[in-house]
Amino acid sequence: MTGERDRVGSAIILAGGKSSRMGRPKAMLSFGEEPLVKLVIRGLATLFPDIVVVAAPGQELPELPVTLVRDEVAYQGPVGGLCYGLRECRSAAAFVTSCDVPFLSLPLVSHLAARLPGHDVVVPHWEGRLQPLHAVYRRSVLPLLERQLERGELRPVFLFDKVRTLKLEEDEIRALDPDGWSFFNMNTPDDYECALARWRAATDGAARPAAGRCEVELFGVARLRARTSRVSVELPESATLAHVWSALARKLPVLVGPVLTEAADGLTAGHVCNLNGRDFVRDGGRRVAPGDRVLLMSSDAGG
């Protein structure tokens, strides 16, 4: 049994982040009848009795059955929000997330909470990147975060070296969220559109069941832009390369434009895919089988 000192009884939702590229407040984006922030709260409330929402000064929000705190100064980055949230929460540790995450996996969130004993922070390490805004923090790290805030170190990662941090590895995460949709957040209207489509499909029960997954290996421009060398994508039954592209666009929206076409239905000029290191393909109709490796690279091999 987890004792009181290891109990993660709170969730902190950071709602005050900038929405400059989205053009409107992310917390208020509607999913069905509800604004997104309500959807997120509803999910987390099934796990945590205590919910704290950190909003920007003057930020418009609906009536919420939660503790609402406002950033003292306009948005100071995640460390600011974390400090305000931890100050207000009523248990020894809290799960912290941003508000623009429509696909939180509750099994994964409760797994993170269960891994806290012996650590001060539990943070997922997904596809080469730490996910500090999908992590569990002990209240006891608050003084360190406050000092960081004073020094202007606005990124939570600076904390991780100073305390007992458990970086949850990919395999462990995949067992509960195979494609990492938990970490999908929305920065642009396109991201919102894509999330909405997936959300509708899922809630309508009309989503085609995932028939398997394939690995996409990124090279050159794609790798540098995405800051990762590989991602795994979910494939429907009888998948084609076009399905891979659209799944990739959802996972790595930064590739849309430079590498994938705006409609995510093809590759931009100068790029090509290769299946399993063997055949070069640009045709979206080409079948892709579960377990295939799709390499994405420049089509110009001049050196």
Partner 1 sequence: MTVHGFHGRLLHVDLDSGRHQWREIGADRLRAFVGGIGLGTSLLYDFAPPGVEPLAPENPLVFASAPLAGTGLTTTAKYAVVTKSPLTGFIADSLSSSFFALALKAVGVDALVVTGRAPEPLCLFVGDGGVELRDARHLWGKSAADTENAVRAELEGAAVRVAAVGPAGENLVRFATISNEGRHAGRGGVGAVMGSKNLKAIALCGGKQVAVADPEGVAAAAASLRRRSLGTHTAKYREVGTVANLAVFDRLGALPARNFQQPTFDAADELSGESLTETSFSRRNGCASCTIRCERLFRASSGGEQRMEYETLFALGPLCGLEDREAVLEAARLCDAYGLDSISTGGTLAWAMECAERGLLPEAGGLRFGAAEAVLDAIPAIAERRGVGDLLAEGSRRAALALGRGSLDWAMQVKGLELPGYEPRSLKTMALGLAVSPRGACHNRSGAYEADFSGKVDRLDSAPPRGALVAASEDFGAALDSLIVCKFLRNCFQDFYAEAADLLAKVTGWDYSAAELRLAAERIHTLKRCFNEREGWRPEDDGLPPRVLTESLAAGVAQGTRLTRDELREMLRDYYQARGWREDGRVSEAKRKALGLPAKQAVSKLHPREATAPEIVIPAKAGIQAG
Which parts of this chain interact with partner 1 (CB under 8 A)? 217, 219-221, 223-225, 229, 258-259, 268-272, 274, 276-282, 295, 297-303
The interaxial angle of helices 36-45 and 106-114, nearest 10 deg, is: 50
Whether residue 297 contacts residue 272, with contact meaning beta carbons closer than 8 Å, is answered with yes
Least distance in angstroms from the C-beta of 64 to partner 1: 42
Concatenated DSSP letters of 199-223: HHHHHTT-PPPP-EEEEEEE-HHHH
Least distance in angstroms from the C-beta of 81 to partner 1: 29
Q: How many CB atoms lie within 10 A of CB 59?
A: 18
Nearer to partner 1, 206 or 301 (CB): 301
Least distance in angstroms from the C-beta of 200 to partner 1: 31
Least distance in angstroms from the C-beta of 23 to partner 1: 26
- Distance between CA atoms of residues 302 and 158, nearest Å: 41
Q: How many CB atoms lie within 10 A of CB 203?
A: 11
Whether residue 52 contacts residue 66, with contact meaning beta carbons closer than 8 Å, is answered with yes
The C-alpha angle 137, 142, 143, rounded to 5 degrees, equals 145
Radius of gyration of the chain (CA): 20
Least distance in angstroms from the C-beta of 259 to partner 1: 8
Least distance in angstroms from the C-beta of 230 to partner 1: 11
Q: How many CB atoms lie within 10 A of CB 10?
A: 26
Nearer to partner 1, 151 or 227 (CB): 227
Tally of helices (H runs) and strands (E runs) in the chain: 9, 15
Tokens representing 67?
């503790």
